[in-house]
Amino acid sequence: MARIADIGQHEGQTVTISGWIDNSTRRGKLLFIQLRDGSGRMQCVMRKQNVDEETFEAFKRAGQESSVRITGEIKADTRSKLGFEMQVSEGEVLQSAEGYPITPKEHGPNFLHDKRHLWLRSRRQFAIMKIRHLCVRAIRNFFDDRDFTLIDSPVFTPNACEGTTTLFETEYFGRPAYLTQSGQLYQEAGAMAFGKTYCFGPTFRAEKSSTRRHLTEFWMVEPEVAFADLDDIMELSEDFLVEVVAYVLEHGREYLEILERDLGPLENVQKPFPRMSYDEACAKLAELGTPVDPEDDFGSPHETVLTKEFDRPIMVHRFPTAIKAFYMKEDPTNPLRALGVDVLAPEGYGEIIGGGAREDRIDVLERKIDEHQLPQEAFDWFKDLRNYGSVPHGGFGLGLERLVCWVCGIKHIRETIPFPRMIDRLTP
Amino acid sequence: MARIADIGQHEGQTVTISGWIDNSTRRGKLLFIQLRDGSGRMQCVMRKQNVDEETFEAFKRAGQESSVRITGEIKADTRSKLGFEMQVSEGEVLQSAEGYPITPKEHGPNFLHDKRHLWLRSRRQFAIMKIRHLCVRAIRNFFDDRDFTLIDSPVFTPNACEGTTTLFETEYFGRPAYLTQSGQLYQEAGAMAFGKTYCFGPTFRAEKSSTRRHLTEFWMVEPEVAFADLDDIMELSEDFLVEVVAYVLEHGREYLEILERDLGPLENVQKPFPRMSYDEACAKLAELGTPVDPEDDFGSPHETVLTKEFDRPIMVHRFPTAIKAFYMKEDPTNPLRALGVDVLAPEGYGEIIGGGAREDRIDVLERKIDEHQLPQEAFDWFKDLRNYGSVPHGGFGLGLERLVCWVCGIKHIRETIPFPRMIDRLTP
């Protein structure tokens, strides 16, 4: 059985392809069948005189998404994008479909998400999923090729330390368990054993807001490196994004074209990324007429204003300690600032990476746990990492779907995951 | 900074390595430090006359797992396994550890799992995690190289169709949601869009038994192929296991040696695997003195007896329809048998793969849903896949931890995942 993706190898040969009818039009004694087989799309031309009556009639009647098997000769065809078409000599309709719900007319997003199991067949959703796959492959290659060890963090976690408002809870044999929001703390244990580790799996957040940037279930990759400082983590983030975007540009151009993605901003993803401290970013924002309270975090609108000033991702580092997690290392030269970094994607996409150096001093860590009003005993194992061979270390987290959204240049994060889960969406 | 894994490139050079003291012994004015840095282990010899007094004293006092930075010349050393050792000229103890809880003496499994965050540093656990990583890489390469598209199945699912006894439930914005036990149904939707897909993520089962084969959270890879029949799925399973095991043998020999794994059974993993129908397997089991009721499933003890007869994995196909899931395709030549296959690992490890052909006839599928007393409406989307372009298709599922357990040749599945979750284990 031949595949459309490899059809160029079969020019002049007679081959059989199994697939689905994407579309078909009749002009008299000719049927122009747009066939898709999961690897690509091609035109198959069926002439009434070349097939038996019954076959022609069956194909004439077969609706969109009918499954078929078609045999014919592959001919060069300069008019088609693929460069080839098939002159059909035999065909069989395996299952004749009627009333396929997704038609070329416009459908609302809710309807399309209700039919997500079918919508994935559309050219645009197909292209997005292919880009997602390429991103995943590039991410894993990046870490595997640099000798990071994959240490899957667990999904079930025992504590709801930072409040339960965005946590999903489950009953775990008579006690509560919570679904992970980040694998980082476990990666810190990993980095002390393996030097460099990463995890890459689903994480969960009970997001009560239904925006175009939020999912309740999304994939995160989280590398962690022993003996790394903030500068190392910034360099790692930079190398990482450069390599991942280059991989997609190399292997996914056809899909980016389907999405009509402007390639310029992706081709600009080259080192060095502009770096600025949070304080510098605030000064810049004030200059641009959108001031931030310097002890407060800046939000999505500020990110948009800031990133529009640059042609590539930017790195904002040294945030106010007060707004950051307890485990982030205080800047020894200014404890009011923490050694963290956010990488903001251009074109208004905003934060895609958050990371930094971790607090490796046991006394400071214990103080921070108290200051954040967290229970010390829940972190006994985490503190062990500082009691037994503490070293400077750091890492980052990247949300896969935000990356894919930006790389694809699309608006809605819900289209970047095969079966999105949101506050109002748990099906199909 | 040099890494122990690459130390051979630095013979004769003076380099600095950062890491942890795995062990150290003093003989008079010599300290023999076993250093680990996450990439490997090597001996560093510190002579009192070559470093300052303070440094020698600090290293003398530093306990197991103290973090250190050591500089010295790399010399060939034929007595060590690595082939090299370091003659230390400078050193710094970054954090002097005392009372590391895991000592060379024997500890019980419960204690070790309580200290899992530290236990991962041990040579044996290190080796198992490295094998796990190699298995994951080989699995993804296998599917990526064959043009399967990664389609992550969701973790949150809306229905508890097959009973809630082994399902974890969570409250999802006022309604119940369940954690996935298999991504297969979603892969079927994927295969109709992409031809060949796979998912690879954590799955969940509220296993009330605490055996050496069960985890509540484990990783599964599930490929699905359009236009595939049972024979295709058997061949895919075979190719898959051959390639994954060969990859581990090629890249993981040093870790298999640490585990004292007998390589013979792994080197035997070559095509063809013996194939037998369930009825043939039952006849064989009767011959071997362990009869099975032919309308019942066979259990772990039967699998062990059967697999011990062969030197490689075996494939048992065509199980009684009555004991198999509703979506498994009935054998058109005998509806009492279903077109499924289990792949059983040798050496008593038992089932690692389960798969087969899926029911692609809408009328039979609807009847099966009724026979299994499942609610038709919960499967409306799944039935759409049969209404709109149904095609023969199939796939399989492989539990990562069972594979790793067998490849490592170890007894307990809980050692094959970084942070195991079991009925009595939710920490650290």
Q: Distance between CA atoms of B132 and B417, rounded to whole angstroms?
A: 8
List, in sequence order, every residue forming a beta bridge with B91; answer none if it has no partner: B70
Neighbours of B4 (CB within 10 A): 21
Q: Do B202 and A171 touch (CB under 8 A)?
A: no
- Positive or negative, the CA dihedral B182, B183, B189, B191 is negative
Work out the end-to-end distance of chain B between its first and last CA atoms, rounded to an integer number of angstroms: 32
Angle between helix axes A400-408 and A230-251 (nearest 10 degrees) is 50
User: Which of B81-95, B125-139, B154-168, B243-257 shows the lowest mean pLDDT across its residues?
Assistant: B154-168
Contacts of A297 by beta carbon, 8 Å cutoff, 6+ apart: A319, A320, A323
List, in sequence order, every residue forming a beta bridge with A142; answer none if it has no partner: none
Q: Distance between CA atoms of A35 and B415, rounded to whole angstroms?
A: 48
> Which tens digits make up the pLDDT trace of A86-114?
999 999 999 999 999 999 888 999 999 99
Which is more confident, B213 or B36? Answer: B36
What's the CA angle centered on B139, arms A219 and B222, to 5 degrees?
65
- Min Cα distance B13 → chain A (Å) is 22
Flag whether pLDDT at B118 surpasses 80: yes
Flag whether pLDDT at B249 surpasses 80: yes
How is chain B split into domains, by residue range? 4-95, 116-416
* Pairing status of strand B149-150 against strand B196-204: parallel
Q: What is the pLDDT of residue A294?
A: 65
CB contacts of B118 in chain A (<8 Å) are 189, 384, 388
Select from A74, A77, A58 the least CA-distant residue to A66.
Answer: A58
Select from A16, A223, A251 the least CA-distant residue to A132.
Answer: A251
With bands split at pLDDT 50, 70 and 90, how would you rate the model's confidence at A213? confident
Average pLDDT over residues B145-153: 98
Q: What is the pLDDT of residue B414?
A: 96
The residue type found at A26 is R
Q: What is the pLDDT of residue A184?
A: 97
Flag whether pLDDT at B229 surpasses 80: yes
Q: Quick one: tokens of B32?
A: 């023999």
Count of CA atoms in the C-beta half-sphere (13 A) of A4: 24
CB contacts of A175 in chain B (<8 Å) are 426
Flag whether pLDDT at B295 surpasses 80: no
Number of H helices, E strands in chain A: 13, 17
Q: What is the pLDDT of residue A295?
A: 67
Backbone angles phi, psi at B88, to 5 degrees: -75, 135
Q: What is the pLDDT of residue A159?
A: 86
The third-level CATH classification (topology) of the domain covering B116-416 is BirA Bifunctional Protein; domain 2 (3.30.930)
Q: Distance between CA atoms of A104 and A126, rounded to whole angstroms?
A: 16
> From the candidates B20, B151, B156, B390, which should be mutated to test the interface with A, based on the most A CB atoms within 10 A?
B156
Q: Do B427 and A387 touch (CB under 8 A)?
A: no
Backbone angles phi, psi at B104, to 5 degrees: -60, -15
CB contacts of B217 in chain A (<8 Å) are 154-156
Q: What is the mean pLDDT of chain B?
A: 95
Q: Residues A352, A406: contact at Cβ < 8 Å? A: yes
**Given B125, B204, B389, which is nearest A97 (Cβ)?**
B389
**Given B175, B193, B426, which is nearest A177 (Cβ)?**
B426
**Given B67, B140, B387, which is nearest A390 (Cβ)?**
B67
Q: In which region does residue A83 sit, left (phi positive, over 0), alpha (psi from -120 to 50) or beta (all else)?
A: left
CB contacts of A125 in chain B (<8 Å) are 193
Q: Do A1 and B227 touch (CB under 8 A)?
A: yes
**Given B38, B121, B170, which is nearest A168 (Cβ)?**
B170
- Min Cα distance A173 → chain B (Å) is 7
SS3 B34: strand
Average pLDDT over residues A169-178: 96
- Min Cα distance B284 → chain A (Å) is 37
Q: Do A387 and B39 touch (CB under 8 A)?
A: no
Q: Distance between CA atoms of A288 and B39, rounded to whole angstroms?
A: 48
Q: Do B65 and A389 touch (CB under 8 A)?
A: yes
The DSSP code sequence of B41-71 is EEEEEEEGGGS-HHHHHHHHH--TT-EEEEE
Nearest chain A alpha carbon to B423: A173
Exposed, middle or buried: residue B58 (CB in 10 Å: 0-12, 13-18, 19+)? middle
Q: Residues B196, A40: contact at Cβ < 8 Å? A: no
Backbone angles phi, psi at A172, to 5 degrees: -115, 90
pTM (2 d.p.): 0.97
Q: Do B150 and A132 touch (CB under 8 A)?
A: yes
Q: Do A153 and B418 touch (CB under 8 A)?
A: yes
Flag whether pLDDT at A42 surpasses 90: yes
Q: Quick one: tokens of B137?
A: 């890489």
Q: Distance between CA atoms of B239 and B242, rounded to whole angstroms?
A: 5
The 3-state secondary structure of A195-217, one letter per residue: CEEEEEEEEECCCCCCCCCCCCE
CB contacts of A229 in chain B (<8 Å) are none
What's chain A's length in residues? 428
Flag whether pLDDT at A143 surpasses 90: yes
> Which tens digits make up the pLDDT trace of A351-368?
999 999 999 999 999 999
Rounded to whole angstroms, what are the CA distances from A79 to A75, A76, A83, A85, B324?
Answer: 12, 9, 7, 10, 50
Q: Do B153 and A38 touch (CB under 8 A)?
A: no
Q: Quick one: tokens of A27?
A: 């002009």
- Min Cα distance A96 → chain B (Å) is 7
Neighbours of A72 (CB within 10 A): 22
Q: What is the pLDDT of residue B292?
A: 87
Q: Distance between CA atoms of B144 and B136, rounded to whole angstroms?
A: 12
Average pLDDT over residues B168-190: 96
Contacts of A146 by beta carbon, 8 Å cutoff, 6+ apart: A196
- Min Cα distance B427 → chain A (Å) is 6
What's the CA angle centered on A17, arms A15 and A19, to 5 degrees?
170
Q: What is the pLDDT of residue A172?
A: 96
- Min Cα distance A76 → chain B (Å) is 24
> Which tens digits make up the pLDDT trace of B24-75?
999 999 999 999 999 999 999 999 999 999 999 999 999 999 999 999 999 9
With bands split at pLDDT 50, 70 and 90, how would you rate the model's confidence at B294? low
Q: Do A390 and B144 touch (CB under 8 A)?
A: no
Q: Distance between CA atoms of A418 and A219, rounded to whole angstroms?
A: 12
Select from B304, B295, B178, B253 the least CA-distant residue to B407.
Answer: B253
Contacts of B110 by beta carbon, 8 Å cutoff, 6+ apart: none
Q: Distance between CA atoms of A355 and A184, rounded to whole angstroms?
A: 10
Cis ω on the peptide bond leading into residue A272 (within 30° of 0)? yes
Q: What is the mean pLDDT of chain A?
A: 95
Q: Residues A338, A330: contact at Cβ < 8 Å? A: yes
Flag whether pLDDT at A310 surpasses 80: yes
Q: Do A137 and B133 touch (CB under 8 A)?
A: no
Q: What is the pLDDT of residue B328?
A: 97
What's the CA angle centered on B17, arms B16 and B22, to 5 degrees?
145
Q: Quick one: tokens of B173?
A: 């914005």
What's chain B's length in residues? 428
Q: Do A158 and B121 touch (CB under 8 A)?
A: no
Work out the end-to-end distance of chain A between its first and last CA atoms, rounded to an integer number of angstroms: 32
Please name the helix (run of DSSP H) or strand (run of DSSP E) that holds residue A291, with its range, or none: none
List, in sequence order, every residue forming a beta bridge with B204; answer none if it has no partner: B217
Percentage of chain A modeled with pLDDT above 70 = 99
Q: Do A381 and B427 touch (CB under 8 A)?
A: yes
Average pLDDT over residues A30-52: 97
Q: Distance between CA atoms of A88 and A99, rounded to whole angstroms?
A: 25
Residue whose pair of structure tokens reads 């490890």 in the numeric block: B349
Flag whether pLDDT at A325 surpasses 80: yes
What's the CA angle centered on B332, arms B329 and B336, to 5 degrees?
75
- Min Cα distance B398 → chain A (Å) is 17
Contacts of B25 by beta carbon, 8 Å cutoff, 6+ apart: B31, B32
List, in sequence order, every residue forming a beta bridge with B199; answer none if it has no partner: B222
Q: Do A172 and B426 touch (CB under 8 A)?
A: yes
- Positive or negative, the CA dihedral B173, B176, B182, B187 is negative
The residue type found at B296 is D
Q: Residues A62, A96: contact at Cβ < 8 Å? A: yes
Nearest chain A alpha carbon to B102: A388
Q: What is the pLDDT of residue B298?
A: 79
Specify whether domain B4-95 bears CATH 2.40.50.140.
yes
Q: Do B117 and A189 touch (CB under 8 A)?
A: yes
CB contacts of B428 in chain A (<8 Å) are 189, 381
Q: Do A154 and B421 touch (CB under 8 A)?
A: yes
The residue type found at A218 is F
- Min Cα distance A26 → chain B (Å) is 20
Average pLDDT over residues B5-17: 97
Contacts of B103 by beta carbon, 8 Å cutoff, 6+ apart: B64
Q: Rounded to 10 degrees, what is the CA torsion of B385, B390, B391, B394?
A: 30
Q: Do A201 and B196 touch (CB under 8 A)?
A: no
SS3 B316: strand
> From the candidates A68, A96, A112, A117, which should be mutated to test the interface with B, based on the most B CB atoms within 10 A?
A117
User: Which of A254-258, A295-299, A309-313, B149-153 shows the lowest mean pLDDT across its residues?
Assistant: A295-299
Does ipTM exceed 0.95? yes
Average pLDDT over residues A127-143: 98
Q: Do A190 and B120 touch (CB under 8 A)?
A: yes
Count contacts between A and B (CB, < 8 Å).
Answer: 239
Flag whether pLDDT at A158 surpasses 90: yes
Nearest chain A alpha carbon to B99: A388
Q: Residues A126, B193: contact at Cβ < 8 Å? A: yes
Nearest chain A alpha carbon to B21: A389
